[in-house]
Chains A and B, each alone.
Chain A
């Protein structure tokens, strides 16, 4: 808008400004941070939300799955429950900033989210209580892996529908397959509408067993026992009462993810394995016509490790360590009395040079990985290797400034 008209006045071809994380977060309502495990996804999501709150004067929520303890503390999350908390101004003050907007944070509690979903969809109190007490349900809600994927997206939908926030940044749960959460709404709908499900339920309800299904029940009874099959079937019969609500809801969640107000930020490092996974994920987003807003590359080693000139200096330092140490000894001795031992200086020079050459191998590998990146998003942000952990708003700001553009 402003930038474009300024460009127009200059008459330089009126190019649209290059998108940045700043412009991306200013225009979208939902940002889904995804990618392989162990790459700093949670921290990146928190940093992006923080930057939006600081710079855009909007009300921002970061919905996080499993933050590090100290990060959770910094965000004012006490580690229990689904409640949304506002990050206090005092926390910002100690980081030396005054936000224009508000930053809110919430954690995802899978069990509690499932329970509230059941309460919402159950047709009557009796069904609700029976489902909540069903041993199979308790297992599914608490432990069933796919249930995390679904519930994260479901919570996102619920919060977005309430219309409380200008921007919601959601961190996705660690999954075996980074794509699982995208399919979760559809899979759940499939699951409840499945013919197999009806198949499974009918005989226990009506005791009518036809020729086609008979072998199945004989085998299942033999393996699992009639009692367990009864539990399963009771659970699904109860769940059937909520079927329409669930399917409707999971379709709405799917629509929200593909809405143009939603964007995806893929987070990775430049290590080969996570990067391949991230790349595959980015391709899948594009194939599904979902909006790939940005790729954030975390923990990238600094540029000064790449130069051939640096390597040459390191090689000389290593090869001529003793000679150099002899030359440097007087200067070092006078700078720090008692430290002028040439043998010790030579050891330090060798260690320092070796360390540079070692890290250069890794830095060059990273550079090659980045060059081979097959997907080009609107925004490609690189975050350097911070030498300390990020555990407070100050740290998040440092990270945020790197991705802001």
Chain B
């Protein structure tokens, strides 16, 4: 399988709350720190991406947010204008508002049109603008398949016309696992793992894009080694605990209780990890990122995650 950082177009998806944007921003930062010229694009636009680099808000025109790393926010209307102008050589849209509006309307009505404008813009950036890597902070798991399958869907609906000519080369690019890959982000919890397994199946059946890896985010540390949990249990027993209270001059019970919680949480989660490993093609690498006991989001967190991601990728 082509290593993640050698691919030119990486879509990052995940269930809400799993840290999709964190992972996408860290992946882009990691690639840029290794000397690549990288574009990161926010598609599921909530305008949060810039915050992961402590940068001012991004727009459709890319801006450098870190050395060698540029960020942009997808906007289907701008994308359509650019597309008509540069790809279809129809330079009229700027002047006639109603036509742009009508297309927006059409995009809302005809499935696949909006998606094709998004995917098309990204493919075009890869092909014509000389990026070493384009990282896409994509829609959540429920919506990504529709986006990646848009070129086929449009091919099914539109049999002739300029769009049809365009979707063919897009499909070639998306189908090439040496160029394009999907990175799914999940946490070791029931629903995210279930959704990731379902996503892997749908991506295989409904799209031509290869699943390049699954990031398992927020993995809790293993507290105890061999026999140590027995030691902990003994320590939490009435005699030793009372002695510990006296030795430290305070109530140690909450501290032990917290450790108990951490151990149980990790144990519950490990069953989901096993389920994930069984449910995903063994060829697809799983990349584990530790739970971050950090104060907040921002560039510092992005850097830490990029560091962990680099280690997992063996860099």
Query: Taking beta carbons and an 8 Å cutoff, which residues of A are in contact with B?
Result: 36-39, 68-70, 135-136, 139-140, 143-146, 174, 176, 191, 194, 196-197, 199-200, 212, 215-216, 219-228, 231-232, 236, 269, 271-274, 277, 302, 304-305, 307, 309-310, 312-314, 316-317, 320, 324, 327-328, 331-332, 335-336, 339, 344-345, 347-349, 351-353, 355-356, 358-359, 361-362, 365, 385, 387-389, 391
A300 to B255, CA, bound (A): 17
Pick 9 A–B contacts, CB within 8 A, sort by A. Answer: A135-B156, A143-B153, A349-B235, A351-B259, A352-B255, A355-B223, A356-B254, A385-B261, A389-B268
A317 to B241, CA, bound (A): 12
A320 to B248, CA, bound (A): 9
B252 located at the interface, meaning its Cβ lies under 8 Å from any Cβ of chain A in the complex: yes
Q: Separation in Å of the A371 CB from the closest CB of chain B? A: 15
* Contact assessment for A215 and B96 in the assembled complex, using a CB-CB cutoff below 8 Å: yes
B residues near A70, Cβ cutoff 8 Å: 190
Partner of A310, one of B15, B90, B103, B254: B254
B139 located at the interface, meaning its Cβ lies under 8 Å from any Cβ of chain A in the complex: yes
* Contact assessment for A225 and B160 in the assembled complex, using a CB-CB cutoff below 8 Å: yes
Partner of B258, one of A196, A304, A389: A304
Q: Separation in Å of the B229 CB from the closest CB of chain A? A: 9
B61 located at the interface, meaning its Cβ lies under 8 Å from any Cβ of chain A in the complex: no
Q: Separation in Å of the B41 CB from the closest CB of chain A? A: 15
* Contact assessment for B190 and A335 in the assembled complex, using a CB-CB cutoff below 8 Å: no
**Smallest Cβ-Cβ distance to B237: which chain A residue:** A335
Given contacts A69-B194, A223-B88, A387-B268, 11 further A-B contacts (CB under 8 A): A37-B16, A196-B102, A216-B102, A219-B84, A221-B161, A273-B297, A313-B248, A324-B244, A324-B248, A335-B234, A389-B268
Would A359 and B255 be within 8 Å (CB), given that A140-B111, A194-B105, A231-B157 are in contact? no
* Contact assessment for A359 and B231 in the assembled complex, using a CB-CB cutoff below 8 Å: no
**B contact patch SS:** helix
A305 to B254, CA, bound (A): 7
A residues near B230, Cβ cutoff 8 Å: 336, 339
A residues near B146, Cβ cutoff 8 Å: 143, 145
B residues near A199, Cβ cutoff 8 Å: 102
* Contact assessment for A227 and B160 in the assembled complex, using a CB-CB cutoff below 8 Å: yes
B227 located at the interface, meaning its Cβ lies under 8 Å from any Cβ of chain A in the complex: yes
* Contact assessment for B17 and A38 in the assembled complex, using a CB-CB cutoff below 8 Å: yes
* Contact assessment for B255 and A353 in the assembled complex, using a CB-CB cutoff below 8 Å: yes
Q: Separation in Å of the A356 CB from the closest CB of chain B? A: 5
Q: Separation in Å of the B263 CB from the closest CB of chain A? A: 9
* Contact assessment for B255 and A68 in the assembled complex, using a CB-CB cutoff below 8 Å: no
A232 to B161, CA, bound (A): 15
Q: Separation in Å of the B29 CB from the closest CB of chain A? A: 18
Binary interface encoding of chain B residues 214-257 relative to chain A, with 1 for a CB under 8 A from any of its CBs, else 0: 00000001011101101111110101100110011111101111
Q: Separation in Å of the A212 CB from the closest CB of chain B? A: 7
Partner of B250, one of A215, A219, A269, A312: A312
A391 to B190, CA, bound (A): 10
- Chain B contributes a number of interface residues (CB within 8 A of A) equal to 83
B residues near A365, Cβ cutoff 8 Å: 295-296
* Contact assessment for B228 and A305 in the assembled complex, using a CB-CB cutoff below 8 Å: no
Contacts of B75-91 to chain A: CB distance below 8 A: 84, 88, 90
**Smallest Cβ-Cβ distance to A194: which chain B residue:** B105
Partner of A224, one of B15, B158, B231, B255: B158
B residues near A336, Cβ cutoff 8 Å: 230-231, 233-234
Shortest Cβ-Cβ A-B pairs, 3 listed: A37-B16, A38-B17, A225-B161
Q: Separation in Å of the B257 CB from the closest CB of chain A? A: 6
B313 located at the interface, meaning its Cβ lies under 8 Å from any Cβ of chain A in the complex: no
A389 to B189, CA, bound (A): 8
Would A222 and B232 be within 8 Å (CB), given that A139-B112, A317-B252, A362-B293 are in contact? no
B residues near A219, Cβ cutoff 8 Å: 84, 90, 92, 99
* Contact assessment for B234 and A358 in the assembled complex, using a CB-CB cutoff below 8 Å: no
Partner of B18, one of A38, A269, A312: A38
**Smallest Cβ-Cβ distance to B156: which chain A residue:** A135
* Contact assessment for B240 and A328 in the assembled complex, using a CB-CB cutoff below 8 Å: yes
Would A309 and B140 be within 8 Å (CB), given that A68-B191, A216-B98 are in contact? no
B34 located at the interface, meaning its Cβ lies under 8 Å from any Cβ of chain A in the complex: no
A residues near B106, Cβ cutoff 8 Å: 200, 220, 232
Partner of A351, one of B84, B224, B251: B224
**Smallest Cβ-Cβ distance to B15: which chain A residue:** A38
A residues near B232, Cβ cutoff 8 Å: 348, 352
**Smallest Cβ-Cβ distance to B257: which chain A residue:** A304
* Contact assessment for B250 and A387 in the assembled complex, using a CB-CB cutoff below 8 Å: no
Partner of A228, one of B161, B235, B237, B296: B161
Q: Separation in Å of the A269 CB from the closest CB of chain B? A: 7
Pick from B90, B103, B223, B259 the residue with the most CB of A within 10 Å. B259
* Contact assessment for B96 and A351 in the assembled complex, using a CB-CB cutoff below 8 Å: no
B residues near A176, Cβ cutoff 8 Å: 44, 139-140, 143
A150 to B171, CA, bound (A): 31
Partner of B140, one of A37, A271, A347: A37
* Contact assessment for B258 and A313 in the assembled complex, using a CB-CB cutoff below 8 Å: no
A residues near B44, Cβ cutoff 8 Å: 176
* Contact assessment for B111 and A139 in the assembled complex, using a CB-CB cutoff below 8 Å: yes
